[in-house]
Amino acid sequence: MRPSAMSLLLLALLALTGCGQNTPVTAYKAFHAQVQKRDYKKAYAALSQATQEQIAGQAQAVQQASGGAVKAEPYELFFSNSALPPDVTEATLLREEGDKATVRVLFSGQTREVRLVREGSEWKIDLSDSIKP
């Protein structure tokens, strides 16, 4: 049976708008994949504004403390000394309330909860509570 033109148009529109792609779980999985690929610039962009501001402040403090000898982008300083994360066995939505969500992540027999916030139409990883100086 040949699909109708309307069916094909609907599928194309869904693909173009990313319908079903903008969820806390898919946002976390995309972030995790970017970190594993060492695509730190994209991974940094997946962080919440509050998290990015804290990281930028810490990067500026490092630069000042080094007398300007260390001149790295905030994302380079944040990710460069981190081990690659293990493969995720499972990521599930634990709760979503308005513009906040928590994703439960299972890896290497351990479970972690990751907080996300919606900024505009995008879900972002929010580490602002865990990276405070």
Which of 105, 100, 101 is CA-nearest to residue 85?
105
Rounded to whole angstroms, how far apart are CA atoms 9 and 79? 41
Establish if 81 belongs to a structural domain. yes
Structural domain includes residue 1: no
Q: What pTM value is reported for the model?
A: 0.79
Q: Is residue 8 part of a domain?
A: no
Per residue in 22-48, pLDDT (tens digit) is: 899 999 999 999 999 999 999 999 999
Find the domain containing 32 and state its range. Answer: 22-125
| Residues 78/55, Cβ–Cβ less than 8 Å | yes
Establish if 26 belongs to a structural domain. Answer: yes
Residue 133 neighbours by CB distance under 10 Å: 6
How do residues 65-75 score in pLDDT, each as one tens digit? 888 787 778 88
Residue 45 lies in a domain: yes
| Residues listed for the chain | 133
Task: Look up the CATH number of the domain holding residue 65.
Answer: 3.10.450
Number of domains the chain is built from: 1
